[in-house]
Structure 1
Amino acid sequence: MNRRRWTGIAASVTAGALLLSACGGDTDGPGDGGLQGTDQASQGSWAINEKPYAEVKQGGELKWPLDALPDNWNYNQLNGPLVDHDYILSSIIPKLHKADKAGKIVINKDYLESAELTSPDPQVVTYKLNPAAKWSDGTAFSWEDFDAQFKALNGTNKEYSVSGTTGYEDIEKVEKGAADNEVVVTFKNKFAEWTSLFSPLYPKSLNSDVKNFNEGWATEPKVTAGPFKIETIDQTAKLVSVVPDANWWGQKPKLDKITFRVVERAALADSLASGAIDWYTIGSSVDNFQRAKGMPGIEVREAPGKSYNHLTFNGAPSSILADQKLRVAVTKALDPAVYAKGILGPIVADAKPLGNHFFLQGTAAYVDNSAPVKADKEAAKTELDGLGWKLEGEFRKKDGKQLDIRLVSTAGNPISEQIGKLTQAQLKEVGVNVVIDAQPSATFFSDFVNTGNFDMVGFGWSQTPWPISSSKGIYYLNPDSVNQNFGRIGSDEINKLLDEANAELDDAKRTELTNQADKLIWEAGHHLPLYQVPGARATRATLVNFGAFGVADPDYTAMGFAG
């Protein structure tokens, strides 16, 4: 299961689930002074100053900026799937499948010899492990690692605080195959995007114990199995460094070290100019885009973006937005085009809002399903009146209570601040008072997003190569598990369509079912996508095999500096 990653409105989330990030997200480079829009022709491209492995200089330190350090090094735990976390984990923890530059899913030969659908009905997948693959404690990879992860993430034991159960809940059993390096996974329900499972893969020692799963990796990873290993975790200096693992059996890394360091968004350009970091994501920041273009020795590398910024609404009983009709009325007062043009206008020509929760613009499956909440301030006013929220002076009141909506955002994040101000101004026009509550990026997700401590919250979702299964946990309403449905909004009908889509092996039918679910998600007032974030990065010109990766997974062993 690859959750979506998140990003604070400039952060981000990821796999089994979508990745999160604070608002800003990933973006890519210039065309005629601005970034090119994402379209079908732009898919399957990257801009990484690509060089053969043999031509990359041996040695050097790559200085990598983060929004925040991981809240939990177990990526499958509720606090785990952040984009920044994924950046680090991809260098030290196994991913069994990865996406190439065209977005095609391929097996990772460092960990697998093969992974095949050996029976369609019942669905059976057989994995053959690379015999050389070993955990850092010397233990060989085993079918027991798969079995323990399946049991931890399938949702049957509610004590496991998981970020998602998608895919694992459809497995019946995991068994040892005909050889020691063979794993046989049998499904009780069909699961189309099965290549998303066991990426990342964790050792049996993590998943077999509830307390260890939830808390044991909160401060550091206990076991690794990647080209790099942890050198330092410094919570005071807000940095993590990784160095090559001498026991790595695959292609050896070219870099001597990668240092991941927390840098405030407002300080990115100055940090790059001073040499404190070697790149940054431009995201939605006009200032960072313009600064990068004028910086000596820096290139803006452009590829399609795979994240979007949005506003999530809280439908829990404790929130003012628990009423679906109120959520929809408020949504109609917010025009995504105002955000897209106001924030991206100087960067992207003809920036457009995003009209789908699952599929990004420029992909074949994309359809604009946003009609149920089409921006219409007059309709919003009429609906608010009908709900009893009458204008009294500057703002609306009902039964003596003012219509105040608390918008939680990331402090010190220019894009978050811009989104907050645009939201506040638009809702004021219809008599709704938005109270902006800016919180530090270090606790933004763990203390506010994950716990439902908001009425409205802004952050970014980063798409994985598995757009349907990775999104299920965001929209599936399960009273026993929040997963990534932080606003607790959904319905049995949405659940049913998502179950059917994830079990449908026919691509066209699976897409149709997903778009049916998407229409209902818009009607429910779940969250409001604002715009797709451009994919450009400001990168030191001497960096090779690094930059704007588009839909691809980076090769950490090949990245480095020009010889």
Structure 2
Amino acid sequence: MRGRRQPALLIAALTAGALVLSACGGGGGNNPANNLQGKVDANDINPKPVSELKDGGDLRWAVSKLSVQFNYHHLDGTERDSADITEALMPRIHMPNARGELIPNKNYVESVQLVSTNPQQVVEYKLNPKAVWYDGTPLSYKDFDAQFKALNGTNAAFVTSSNTGYEDIEKVERGATDQDVKVTFKNKFGDWRSLFDPLYPASTNSDPKVFNEGWIEKPLTTAGPFKLDSIDRGAKILTLVPNDKWWGDKPKLSRIIYRQLDVDSTAQAFAAGDVDFIDIGPSVTTFQQVKPVPGAVIRKSLAPDFRHMTFNGAKGAILDDPKLRLAIQKAIDRTTIAKSQIGAIIPDAKPLNNHIYVEGLKDYKDQGQLVAFNKDQAAKELDELGWKREGEGTRKKDGKELVIRDVIPSAVETSANEAKQAQQMLAAIGVKLDIQTVPSELFFKEYVNKGNFDVTHFSWIGTPTPASSKGGIYKLDPNAVNQNYGRIGNETINKLLTDANSELDDAKRAELANKADEEIWKSGHSLLLYQRPNAIGVKDTLANFGAFGFAGFEFEKIGYVK
């Protein structure tokens, strides 16, 4: 299970590059893979004009599992394997560029304008009249209205991953034509460009049953450059082909073939030429395996993605006391973890110290001092909390041992390494970390999504709109889980994030978001580990594809050089 970028929210995901991978063949010292392509502070996708690309060709894409929920806005639909498929099918009203700026996508909109900010915020969309769903129905205000109503949180029958932004809309109206959309907000929402992305049709957003269950087996429609050709659950292969009703530039590829592979065989498949790229991510093992593959390059970019440890603070959980969570976090040496995990890929690897902004964004502030590594202080605070230690044993309080269940997915090298390191560090102060490895295919559905853990680790894949996209993670709503899986938060965090979301001034919004980050640290919500490398091993003949960084995929431009 990979991570993925999306301007509406973040995505909980494992990354293919974080897996335990078997040794691969190939070798030789003088091939392009030994000279790393690009820099970590630049988008690196081998950009080529489409005129220089061949017509046809397959892009063979490894996934750790075929999706069981192709509705991205459903709680179970936010894994990257799903999103990588739906992004080729569903409309993106705004596309992020390499700088993370959201630009109107001319395939779907002729114009997007913020026409009023006072007394109410009003945004008007003029849709591309050529844009149609696969059944021939034009995109219209009806699609925007149905998505707003499904995602605004007023109907609990819709099992949504996030209501951020949609809950601030008052109404969606028809303009002069069905392709003129007027969105009026009851509360100002600064990251309004992140909304309706991806856009789903009114026909599947109007009924909660269809919203929740209709997209489980396969995608129901398309309004993108590709369409579903076939899905074979037995062979674990899903194939997309160009959409014959697509009105934009004709795709260069003839097929995109998504193939489910065991996570520990992906590098071997790449080396054997069975897949055309591999997400190396934070895995040094994979990095070292990909470097000698003939005809391969490694493309790198700075990206808004990061590894973290989420704590479970739900009522009754062993970690429901924020003071206990903070004491434990101080005993984990994040610098050591970062350097050991990704030092071979990013030599100056260091901990990430902001829950909202990553390094490389102008609004990033280092605010992680509260949990700076201090083993002695951690032990002292545990003593003060009544968790006493006798000799070298596990701490106890009222006869109960301080045993924390760390749930990680199987065959994920990065999670296993992080867990083992944390286990050793916590053992030094008398805290027992019980590592429970569960099947990867059940990790999110049965454990993370249900809060069935004391602590767990995975990647959050960032967005160009971090202030609003983090709401589903760090806001605490007693009536909905969203992506705050550990149920940790408070009204101060909620208000600061809400105020940041409603601030149209970029500088003021960042100031509020950084104040929210300070409070998130105080709550012991999660321990940030390090910014995840965007390192991609790819065939050297593949163009307009690789380490996208902050940018989105332009599927119709992906292809092979002549």
Whether the TM-score (by the shorter chain) exceeds 0.5 is: yes
Name 1:539's counterpart in structure 2.
538
Select which of 362, 377, 395 maps to 2:375: 377
The question of 1:426 aligning with 2:414 is answered: no
Name 1:4's counterpart in structure 2.
none
Contact 2:221/2:227 (<8 A) preserved: no
Q: How does 1:476-487 map to 2 (within 5 A)?
A: 476-487=475-486
Q: How does 1:153-552 map to 2 (within 5 A)?
A: 153-392=151-390, 393-552=392-551
What's the CA shift string for 1:328-367, capped at 9, x where partnerless? 1111111211210111122211211100011111211111
One-letter amino acid matched to 2:533: P
1:386 Cα offset (Å):
1.2
What's the CA shift string for 1:141-184, capped at 9, x where partnerless? 11111111101110111121110000000000000001221000
Q: How does 1:141-152 map to 2 (within 5 A)?
A: 141-152=139-150
1:69 Cα offset (Å):
2.3
One-letter amino acid matched to 2:273: G
SS in 2 for 1:184: strand
Name 2:24's counterpart in structure 1.
none
Larger CA deviation: 361-370 vs 385-394 = 385-394
1:306 Cα offset (Å):
2.3
Q: Which runs of 5+ in 2 are unaligned?
A: 20-31
Query: Once superposed, what is the RMSD of the aligned Cα atoms?
Result: 1.9
Larger CA deviation: 303-312 vs 385-394 = 385-394
The question of 1:81 aligning with 2:73 is answered: no
Contact 1:305/1:535 (<8 A) preserved: yes
SS in 1 for 2:182: strand
SS in 1 for 2:458: strand
Name 1:3's counterpart in structure 2.
none
What's the CA shift string for 1:268-293, capped at 9, x where partnerless? 22111111111101111112111221
What is the alpha-carbon distance in structure 2 between the residues aligned to residue 23 and residue 428 of structure 1?
A: 28
What is the alpha-carbon distance in structure 2 between the residues aligned to residue 105 and residue 481 of structure 1?
A: 29
Select which of 18, 26, 48 maps to 2:10: 18
Give the TM-score normalised by the residue count of structure 1.
0.94
1:15 Cα offset (Å):
4.3
1:32 Cα offset (Å):
9.4
What's the CA shift string for 1:478-523, capped at 9, x where partnerless? 0011111111100001111011100111111110100000000001
One-letter amino acid matched to 2:217: T
Alpha carbons of structure 1 residues 538 and 468: separation in structure 2 relative to 1, 3 Å: same
The question of 1:98 aligning with 2:90 is answered: no
What is the alpha-carbon distance in structure 2 between the residues aligned to residue 24 and residue 340 of structure 1?
A: 18
What is the alpha-carbon distance in structure 1 between the residues aligned to residue 455 and residue 471 of structure 2?
A: 21
Contact 1:107/1:114 (<8 A) preserved: yes
**Percent identity of equivalent pairs:** 47
**Which runs of 4 or more aligned residues in structure 1 lie more than 3 Å from their structure 2 counterparts after TM superposition?**
10-15, 23-27, 30-38
Alpha carbons of structure 1 residues 371 and 25: separation in structure 2 relative to 1, 3 Å: farther
Alpha carbons of structure 1 residues 411 and 268: separation in structure 2 relative to 1, 3 Å: same
Name 2:27's counterpart in structure 1.
none
Name 2:125's counterpart in structure 1.
127
What's the CA shift string for 1:224-250, capped at 9, x where partnerless? 111101112222333221111111111
Name 2:113's counterpart in structure 1.
116
Q: Which runs of 5+ in 1 are unaligned?
A: 1-7
Alpha carbons of structure 1 residues 222 and 266: separation in structure 2 relative to 1, 3 Å: same
What is the alpha-carbon distance in structure 2 between the residues aligned to residue 466 and residue 25 of structure 1?
A: 25
SS in 2 for 1:64: strand
1:311 Cα offset (Å):
0.3
1:67 Cα offset (Å):
2.5
Contact 1:23/1:458 (<8 A) preserved: no
Contact 1:69/1:442 (<8 A) preserved: no
1:544 Cα offset (Å):
1.1
Alpha carbons of structure 1 residues 400 and 37: separation in structure 2 relative to 1, 3 Å: farther
One-letter amino acid matched to 1:133: A
